[in-house]
DNA sequence: GGCCTAATGCAATATCTTTGCTTTAAGCTG
DNA sequence: CAGCTTAAAGCAAAGATATTGCATTAGGCC
């Protein structure tokens, strides 16, 4: 996004919404590489120059749309224990981000060279979720978790595998990460399915 | 790049070299966002259509050039012990990749949506270096190291921090990762500067 | 040395991007 | 709530980039 909007409501907001919707619709219909600004503008019912002026270029529009799409709609599931919450969250994260769609979104978010806001937003979503799990655990009287450590041990490897050796991380791989996290946090036992090495 | 070259030597190779050189030269002179294909072609003394035909588009050319640039020129330093080798390698990796130039290269490599060869190449470089360290350690009679674990614990977090919360990982942060790795591998002691928490 | 063909050059065309100016509509003020 | 102000959108022309068919060049191979 070129700049934070000055005028929040009204036509501006409607157009932003329309352009986002058009972008997402097109991403579902044609290949990621076939899309261009005039196409999106046309679908959204605006002129291309509007898009160029507000977003700068295709990369920034895609990054903005992707970050928007990655915004969580709800708090992570509450399974009753931190170990369970963490497992559920990480498994879902790996699945969502590892899917072809998720991988493309991640790439779009990272491709924005102009103002790395989109990447920071996504990072913040993850941090926020982990903080929620931590707060919940403390409220239950459980030992807490270090968000930074969770990112280092659980999230970062998943992202690395997705981005560099692309392909969805296997459930076994994710289980291995969870086991390692448990080994480093004896207060947080390994939750249910420890059927891996 | 668009396809692996059929003809390896001669003019083809010279042009590829010239285009790569022109791209790197321009990256050092003007901002990453100011560069375009005609500019590079001009500098390399070829017509734009040649570049388009061989690389497809700017993103792929940049990814190819970045991957080329990230190709290691030498084996990692031999410090006499696996712990020392690992520390030296990881610190250098964090420095190189975390610098503005390194970050830009990483992004270019990941931006290539067409054929994720560039990302895989970079990943392979890192893996190869870690395997070298491992081989060396075994030859010395030391305990070996798991390359996958080293990537999960050391490399992935560094990349995640660089990409998402951009900024060079601090030496303290890297030391923390190394300490964690040592904790998980009692056979590989923490090397020299353990002055962190 | 001469043929064959991949790869490049050239130039015309199509497409995308930028920009100045005009028009619209949101927000504010009296 | 009418009128003013101005951010944002529309429009259209100009500029730049991307694509493509055809001619030419230069490796590789008898």
DSSP string, B51-73: HHHHHSSHHHHHHHHHHHHHS-S
- Asked if residue B22 keeps its beta carbon closer than 7 A to nucleic acid strand C, the reply is no
CB B23 within 8 A of CB B40: yes
- For residue A8, give Cα distances in angstroms to A11, A17, A69, B177: 9, 12, 19, 43
Distance to chain A for B194, nearest Cα, Å: 19
pLDDT of residue A12: 86
Residue B45 CB in 7 A reach of strand C: yes
Q: Which residues contact A104 (CB under 8 A, 6 or more apart)?
A: A27, A32, A66, B113
pLDDT tens for each residue of chain B, 197 residues long = 434 455 566 888 999 999 999 999 999 999 899 999 999 999 999 999 999 999 999 999 999 999 999 999 999 999 999 999 999 999 999 999 999 999 999 999 999 888 878 999 999 999 999 999 999 999 999 999 999 999 999 999 999 999 998 789 999 999 999 999 999 999 888 887 655 44
How far is the alpha carbon of A120 from chain B, nearest alpha carbon, in Å? 6
pLDDT at A7 over 60: no
Q: What's residue A194's pLDDT?
A: 53
pLDDT of residue B194: 53
> CA separation (Å) from B75 to B145, B153, B197?
17, 21, 31
User: Residues 144..173 of A with a Cβ closer than 8 Å to B: which?
Assistant: 151-153, 155-157, 159-161, 163-166
Q: What is the mean pLDDT of chain A?
A: 92
Distance in Å from D4's C1' to A18's CA comes to 30
User: According to the model, what pLDDT value does residue A90 have?
Assistant: 98
Measured CA to CA in angstroms, residue A156 lies from A1, A93, B141 at distances of 26, 11, 32
Please name the residues in contact with B177: beta carbons below 8 A apart, sequence gap of 6 or more. A152, B90, B153, B154, B157, B158
Q: How far apart are CA B28 and CA B81, in angstroms?
A: 37
Please tell me what DSSP assigns to residue B192. S
DSSP B32-54: GGG--HHHHHHHHTS-HHHHHHH
DSSP tag of A145: -
User: Is the pLDDT reported for residue A119 higher than 90?
Assistant: yes
The count of residues in chain B is: 197
CA R_g for chain B: 19
Rg (CA), chain A: 19
Global pTM reads 0.92
- What is the distance in angstroms measured between the alpha-carbon CA of B73 and the sugar C1' of C5? 36
């Amino acid at each position: 996004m070129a700049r934070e909007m000055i005028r929040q409501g009204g036509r501006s907001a409607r157009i932003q919404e329309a352009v986002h919707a058009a972008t997402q619709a097109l991403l579902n219909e044609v290949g990621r590489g076939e899309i261009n600004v005039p196409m999106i503008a046309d679908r959204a019912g605006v002129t291309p120059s509007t898009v160029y002026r507000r977003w700068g270029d295709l990369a920034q529009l895609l990054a903005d749309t992707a970050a928007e799409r990655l915004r969580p709609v709800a708090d992570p599931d509450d399974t009753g224990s931190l170990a369970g919450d963490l497992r559920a969250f990480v498994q879902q994260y790996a699945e969502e981000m590892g899917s072809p769609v998720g991988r493309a979104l991640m790439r779009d978010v990272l491709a924005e060279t102009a103002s790395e806001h989109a990447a920071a937003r996504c990072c913040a979503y993850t941090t926020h979720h982990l903080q929620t799990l931590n707060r919940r655990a403390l409220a239950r009287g459980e030992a807490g978790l270090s968000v930074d450590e969770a990112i280092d041990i659980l999230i970062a490897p998943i992202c690395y595998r997705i981005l560099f050796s692309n392909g969805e991380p296997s459930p076994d791989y994710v289980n291995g990460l969870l086991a390692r996290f448990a080994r480093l946090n004896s207060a947080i036992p390994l939750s249910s399915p420890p059927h891996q090495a």
